[in-house]
Chain A
Amino acid sequence: MAEELKLFRTWSSPYSLRVVHALKIKGLEYETIFEDLSSKSASLLQYNPVNKKVPVLVHNGKAICESLVILEYIDETWKQCPLLPRDPYEKAKARFWAKFGDEKLSSSIWNVLISQGKEQEEAIAAAVQNLKLIEEQLQEKKFFGGEKIGYLDIAFGWTANLISILEEIIDLKLVDEEKLPLLSAWMQNFSDDPVIKQCWPPRDKLVVKFQAMRESNLKTVLSQ
């Protein structure tokens, strides 16, 4: 049966990028529909009526939403190049850290972007502490998944891309090679992977986007 795969995404959404990475690693053909979130398409609203967000993967007409749910769906449906570990405990740990990444880590990184001065110093300290916890999960492996990119690498992938952009905008180093050597190496290895490399959104556009986010959030704080 011919598989029909569609991915609703935006050019910059790191959550959408996770799905792109998984589909490419599995060698799957799919159609991309780029959304403009200020003017959502009827299809997106039909496929994701609850959250009205990207990414949405549509497989033979059935919609799957929420990037981590989509990753597990892809892994369970197409068995080549497994993403999640086989062992139940390793799987549980991968899921735990992916959730940590999406909750504690990402909000601490966001706080660094939208703050300045003393507040930013505190935000950086908190973010670095979270990054250290992530680094501990790497141990001496090349990737979180071991020798190959796996679920947790894809889940953390946004850090490999966006942290350096944040660093450029605030002109401060967050992932210092000396303080976070393993994480630093991982970011390089992940970014250099040929499958991942071809998917990064245009860097200059991302810098502009995040710079604008920083400015509008700082302005809001100052006017309060």
Chain B
Amino acid sequence: MAATTSDEKLLGLWASPYTTRVQLALKLKSIEYEFIQENLQNKSELLLQTNPVHKKIPVFIHGDKPICESLIIIQYIDDTWTNGPSILPSDPYDRAMARFWAAYIDDKWFPLLKELGGAQGDEARASIVEKIFEGLVLLEEAFVKCSKGKALFGGDNVGYLDIALGCFLGWIKATEIMTGIKWLDETKIPGLVGWAERLCSDSSVKDVLPEAQKLVELYTMSAGLEKGVSN
């Protein structure tokens, strides 16, 4: 094994929203780390060793400990680096809400965006588009409840749900460009539109989120991007 220069390593892909999540968490906690860009067509030995079960990115390696699954990694970072700002809320009920909505995003909402990419025919597409908008309306309600009148899901500071949903903003904007559909429509989801603007201009976030145009170029170049990208 090669000599390690850093105690913290992140195996990921610049374009993967799940990798972006971990990068956001690391930035929030001001943690220095080595980023190792994976090639999913030719997975590294390190990836296969550290995530033998799923063989997917992101994997966060802390010393000799590999942690997999983006939301689990974020919680690990929050539990381990306790002198920085907290990512999860402190109240158990608020934490439960954050976990619930993050699971909703991963299990129910984002799969719809992926499904849209593969949809055949206008009727199928229209049905998925409707479901995506319904999901956004639910997330709008979640934003109102969780933010409690403040700027972000986490209140004044970037928190768990800001990361869990915010990581998709590059792809949401890229999809707007490619489909012509305005997902971030202030007439439908004004709270979330305001949130997205504030989050994207936050100093901890703006250099970490991939640019929408770059994602469009990537998507048009390679059809099989989602292969091997984990939650």
Contacts and interface: CB of A to CB of B under 8 A. Distances in A.
Interface stretch (A24-32, A36-44, A95-103, A170-178): A95-103
Contacts of A133: 53
5 contacts: A66-B99, A88-B79, A88-B80, A89-B62, A96-B69
B100 A95 contact: no
A179 B62 CA distance: 34
Interface in A56-103: 59, 62, 64-66, 69-70, 72-73, 76-77, 88-89, 91-92, 95-96, 99-100
Contacts of A76: 92, 95
Given A76-B92, A92-B67, A100-B53, A65 B100 contact: yes
A25 to B, nearest CB: 17
B223 to A, nearest CB: 25
Nearest to B80: A88
Report which residue of B67, B80, B96, B138 has the largest number of chain A beta carbons within 10 angstroms of its beta carbon. Answer: B96
B103 interface: yes
Contacts of A1: none
A151 to B, nearest CB: 13
Contacts of B103: 66, 69
A89 B65 contact: yes
Contacts of A66: 99-100, 103
A88 B96 contact: no
A2 interface: no
A222 interface: no
Interface in A153-168: none
Binding site of A, secondary structure by majority: helix, strand, loop or mixed?
helix
Contacts of A104: 53
B46 interface: no
A221 interface: no
Interface residues of A, number: 23
Given A50-B104, A91-B79, 18 more contacts: A66-B100, A69-B103, A72-B99, A73-B92, A73-B96, A76-B92, A77-B92, A88-B79, A89-B62, A89-B65, A92-B72, A92-B75, A92-B76, A95-B72, A95-B75, A96-B69, A99-B69, A100-B53
Contacts of B72: 92, 95-96, 99
Contacts of B79: 88, 91-92
A130 to B, nearest CB: 9
Is the contact region of chain B dominated by helix, strand, or loop, or is it mixed?
A: helix
Contact of A73 (B73, B80, B93): B93
Contacts of A69: 96, 99-100, 103
A70 B166 CA distance: 24
Contacts of B174: none
Nearest to A97: B53
Counting from the closest, the 10 A-B pairs by CB-CB distance are A88-B79, A76-B92, A92-B76, A73-B96, A69-B99, A64-B96, A88-B80, A77-B92, A92-B67, A95-B72
A89 B80 CA distance: 9
Interface string B129-141: 0000000001000
Contacts of A70: 96
B68 A96 contact: yes
Most-contacted residue by chain B among A66, A91, A92, A100 (CB, 10 A): A92
B69 A64 contact: no
Nearest to B77: A88
A149 B107 CA distance: 28
A88 B81 CA distance: 10
B31 to A, nearest CB: 14
A160 B138 CA distance: 36
B18 to A, nearest CB: 14
A131 to B, nearest CB: 13
A66 B98 CA distance: 12
B92 to A, nearest CB: 4
A72 B97 CA distance: 11
A72 B95 contact: yes
Contacts of A73: 92-93, 95-96
